[in-house]
């Protein structure tokens, strides 16, 4: 673009043309003239001027028609047009506006007015063009024109920002490098047009598969990168990776060809696999070549350890699906001992999974997975039924009736069928509801969702009305205050093992435990201390009038057979405490 603005002056009268030329000659514009509407359109197309000064009254094509035709041409639609009309001709001006004129002037021209108007309009127009050009350049510098995805440049920029934020917030970030399997063959056999369409389709599938905050970029050819913040790389990232592979491998219709393509993914994770964008990309690429070697349509983490964990998780999920039909679950029971009497007043039912090949899988490993899969609903029902049946069996065997505590996960409380399920189990097993206690965690009550809070509240109230006890498990690990808990119908508060552990060595834990017990009592809650292992801990708790204790000091969770024996023994001879 030359730095002079070009003005096209359209007028059939030679005197008018001379006048304008004289008035604008010293202003440094490039002046071009047309004597008719037809000539004006030709020159406008050829030159794309910065401004057109257009006389309305011309033989042949008049100014209105010229203006209308200009506006119909996409290249000239934005060209500023100043229409020259007879003085105060209101009707012409209205027609001019309809035809698309931007401004009006009338003859004879006033020198100062003409200069000022033209100066303003050309300046605005040049500015607009400059902005457009800069925007175009900025766009090309940061985006891939084929797919409209960020390019390497913008990806690196976003990575720097995201990694900076992640390290401040101590969060993880996953970098997934994707490469299509056999893309070259598609390009060679079906042509570049199909290849391009495929890349656009892949870009759109990726964008729809990842979460909103993620960045999807195209680096080159068929190489794409996804960057997403992730706190649990093994689970969250392997889920993303699998979703991406599934999305890509759906068939595509491209120019009447039905094509199936797969992709391979290499994954690196910040900060463990690198702290800089370039290092993370390099390691993700190393993982990518391993994924290709694995036989494509698969993903690999850079770290071997993470691959093992991802694989384990996959196996776990598959095995967990069959756990009920294969009858691999059983319950262990741990006694809850009343400090005043040394008697067993309750049992906590704790889930155990014995897998023929995986061996013993601890609840810490599989319960969260079962929750995510929704499997905790049928598993939870099995636990409740088994525990109630067992409690009934012990009572019928003549042992003193005691309360059975069953853990209930938050996910179960989202199930609208929970209440009915509990009622059914109690009817089926014939267990008196006063011998059942349900253990909930603090976080379940703390859920931000008001609606849920109400329904949890409603369910708890109904359960308590039936005579079932409600206990808060692992108290102290969440954020709730006792005054918050006061709103809920509760009977028992279980102090988390982490406080009990250090009551004799850590003054903070001692103070907190003391305060929790005192406040629980003021709310008429029974206190159970979890994880009691030593006689010193026991003495501490006894002194603060904690009612019930549970822990290895008395017994770890044990099988039905062992528990039957223990119940009989303790019934005859209650526990004796060294401190008492
Ligand atoms: P929890 O409900 O807090 O259960 C207490 C855990 O502490 C049990 O671990 C128990 O074996 C352990 N424990 C008891 N006394 C001691 C002690 O003196 N020292 C130490 N170090 N540990 C002790 P477990 O059986 O591995 O269960 C872990 C968690 O899994 C449970 O924590 C509970 O949240 C969950 N869970 C277990 N069974 C079920 C179930 O049937 N349903 C649901 N939803 N969750 C369950
Ligand atoms: Mg529990
Ligand atoms: Mg607990």
Task: For residues 342 and 577, give the distance between their C-alpha atoms in angstroms, rounded to a whole number.
Answer: 8
334 within 8 A of 557, measured Cβ to Cβ: yes
* Tens-binned pLDDT, residue by residue, of the chain (580 aa): 456 889 999 999 888 888 888 888 888 899 999 999 999 999 999 988 999 999 998 999 999 999 999 999 888 888 999 999 876 778 888 899 999 999 998 888 888 888 888 888 888 887 788 788 888 888 888 999 999 999 999 999 999 999 999 999 999 999 999 999 989 888 888 889 999 999 999 999 999 999 888 999 999 899 999 999 988 878 889 899 999 999 999 999 988 888 899 999 999 999 999 999 999 999 999 999 888 888 788 999 998 777 777 777 778 888 888 999 899 999 999 999 999 999 999 999 999 999 888 888 899 889 988 987 889 999 999 999 999 999 999 999 999 999 999 999 988 988 889 999 999 999 999 999 999 999 998 877 766 444 455 578 889 999 999 999 999 998 887 666 676 788 889 999 999 999 999 999 999 889 889 989 998 999 899 999 999 999 999 999 999 999 999 999 999 999 999 999 999 999 999 998 765 4
| Per-residue DSSP letter, 27 | G
Beta pairing partners, 105: 84
* Contacts by residues 283-289 (CB-CB < 8 Å, ≥ 24 positions apart): 284/175, 284/176, 284/177, 284/225, 285/177, 287/177, 288/177, 288/178, 288/179, 288/264
Q: Whose CA is nearest to atom 23 of ligand 1?
A: 531
Give residues with Cβ within 8 angstroms of 498, minimum separation 6. Answer: 476, 477, 509, 531
CATH code of 188's domain: 3.30.70.270
Instruction: Report residues near ion ligand 3: CB below 5 Å.
Output: 473-474, 530
Ligand 1 contact, 335 CB (< 6 A): no
CA of 298 relative to ligand 2 center, distance in Å = 39
Same domain for 355 and 247?
no
> Residue 75 is encoded by which pair of tokens?
């290249």
Q: Whose CA is nearest to atom 20 of ligand 1?
A: 531
pLDDT computed for residue 454 by the predictor: 57
Counting from 1 in the atom list of ligand 1, the atom nearest the Cα of 408 is 44
> 309 lies in a domain?
no
Among 62, 102, 106, 58, residue whose Cα is nearest residue 85: 106
Where is the domain boundary, 268, 302, 336? 302
Task: For residues 344 and 400, give the distance between their C-alpha atoms in angstroms, rounded to a whole number.
Answer: 9
Instruction: Report residues near ion ligand 2: CB below 5 Å.
Output: 407, 439, 473
Same domain for 128 and 162?
no
Where is the domain boundary, 103, 123, 142? 142
Same domain for 81 and 195?
no
Cα Dmax for the chain:
127
Q: Whose CA is nearest to atom 15 of ligand 1?
A: 551
> 577 lies in a domain?
no
**Cis peptide leading into residue 457 (ω within 30°):** no
pLDDT computed for residue 476 by the predictor: 83
CA of 230 relative to ligand 2 center, distance in Å = 29
Query: Phi and psi (nearest 5°) for 381?
Result: -65, -40
CATH code of 454's domain: 3.20.20.450
Among 8, 103, 99, residue whose Cα is nearest residue 46: 8
Same domain for 378 and 515?
yes
Q: Whose CA is nearest to atom 35 of ligand 1?
A: 363
Strands 215-220 and 223-229: antiparallel
Same domain for 53 and 168?
no
Ligand 1 contact, 367 CB (< 6 A): yes
Ligand 1 contact, 531 CB (< 6 A): yes
Same domain for 399 and 285?
no
pLDDT computed for residue 453 by the predictor: 55
Ligand nearest to the CA of 475: 3
Same domain for 133 and 198?
no
Same domain for 218 and 329?
no
CA of 454 relative to ligand 2 center, distance in Å = 23
Ligand 1 contact, 474 CB (< 6 A): yes
Domain count for the chain, please give it.
3
Ligand 1 contact, 381 CB (< 6 A): no
Where is the domain boundary, 142, 177, 207? 142
Ligand 1, pocket-test mutation among 363, 415, 471, most atoms within 8 A of CB: 363
Provide the residue range defining the domain that includes 110: 6-142
Same domain for 232 and 363?
no
Same domain for 212 and 87?
no
Same domain for 76 and 167?
no
Ligand nearest to the CA of 496: 3
> 311 lies in a domain?
no
CATH code of 15's domain: 3.40.50.2300
Radius of gyration of the chain from Cα atoms? 39
pLDDT computed for residue 580 by the predictor: 46
Same domain for 131 and 219?
no
Q: Whose CA is nearest to atom 43 of ligand 1?
A: 407
């Amino acid at each position: 673009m030359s730095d002079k603005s070009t003005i096209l002056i359209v007028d059939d009268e030679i005197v008018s043309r001379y006048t304008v030329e004289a008035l604008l000659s010293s202003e440094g514009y490039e002046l071009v003239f047309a004597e008719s509407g037809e000539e004006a359109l030709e020159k406008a197309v050829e030159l794309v001027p910065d401004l057109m000064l257009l006389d309305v009254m011309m033989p042949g094509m008049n100014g209105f028609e010229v203006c209308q035709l200009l506006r119909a041409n996409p290249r000239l639609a934005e060209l500023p047009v100043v229409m020259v009309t007879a003085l105060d001709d209101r009707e012409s001006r209205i027609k001019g506006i309809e035809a698309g004129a931007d401004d009006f002037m009338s003859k004879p021209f006033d020198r100062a007015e003409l200069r000022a108007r033209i100066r303003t309009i050309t300046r605005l127009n040049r500015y607009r063009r400059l902005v457009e050009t800069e925007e175009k350049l900025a766009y090309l510098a940061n985006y891939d024109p084929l797919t409209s995805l960020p390019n390497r440049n913008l990806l690196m920029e976003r990575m720097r920002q995201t990694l900076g934020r992640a390290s401040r917030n101590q969060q993880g970030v996953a970098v997934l490098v994707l490469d299509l399997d056999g893309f070259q063959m598609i390009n060679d056999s079906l042509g570049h047009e199909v290849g391009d369409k495929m890349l656009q389709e892949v870009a759109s599938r990726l964008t729809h598969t990842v979460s909103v905050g993620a960045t999807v970029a195209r680096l080159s050819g068929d190489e794409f990168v996804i960057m997403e913040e992730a706190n649990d790389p093994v689970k969250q990232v392997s889920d993303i990776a699998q979703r991406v592979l599934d999305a890509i491998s759906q068939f595509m219709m491209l120019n009447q060809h039905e094509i199936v393509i797969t992709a391979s993914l290499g994954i690196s994770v910040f900060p463990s696999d690198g702290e800089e964008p370039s290092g993370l990309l390099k390691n993700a690429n190393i993982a990518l070549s391993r994924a290709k070697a694995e036989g494509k349509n698969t993903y690999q983490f850079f770290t071997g350890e993470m691959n093992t964990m991802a694989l384990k998780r996959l196996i776990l999920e598959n095995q967990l699906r069959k756990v009920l039909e294969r009858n691999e679950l059983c319950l262990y029971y741990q006694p809850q001992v009343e400090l005043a009497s040394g008697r067993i007043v309750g049992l906590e039912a704790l889930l155990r999974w014995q897998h023929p090949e995986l061996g013993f899988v601890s609840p810490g490993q599989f319960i969260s997975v079962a929750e995510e899969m929704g499997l905790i609903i049928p598993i939870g029902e099995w636990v409740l039924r088994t525990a109630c049946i067992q409690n009934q069996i012990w009572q019928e065997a003549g042992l003193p009736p005691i309360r059975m505590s069953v853990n209930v996960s938050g996910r179960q409380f989202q199930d609208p069928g929970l209440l009915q399920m509990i009622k059914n189990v109690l009817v089926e097993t014939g267990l008196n509801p006063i011998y059942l206690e349900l253990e909930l965690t603090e976080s379940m009550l703390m859920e931000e969702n008001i609606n849920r809070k109400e329904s949890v509240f409603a369910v708890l109230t109904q359960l308590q009305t039936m005579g079932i006890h409600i206990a808060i498990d692992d108290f102290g690990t969440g954020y709730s205050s006792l005054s918050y808990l006061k709103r809920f119908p509760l009977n028992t508060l279980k102090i988390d093992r982490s406080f009990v552990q250090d009551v004799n060595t850590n003054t903070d834990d001692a103070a907190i435990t003391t305060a929790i017990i005192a406040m629980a009592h003021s709310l008429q809650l029974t206190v159970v201390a979890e994880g009691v292992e030593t006689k010193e801990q026991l003495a501490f708790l006894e002194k603060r009038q904690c009612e019930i204790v549970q822990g290895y000091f008395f017994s770890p969770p044990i099988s039905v057979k062992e528990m039957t024996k223990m119940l009989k023994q303790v019934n005859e001879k209650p526990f004796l405490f060294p401190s008492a």
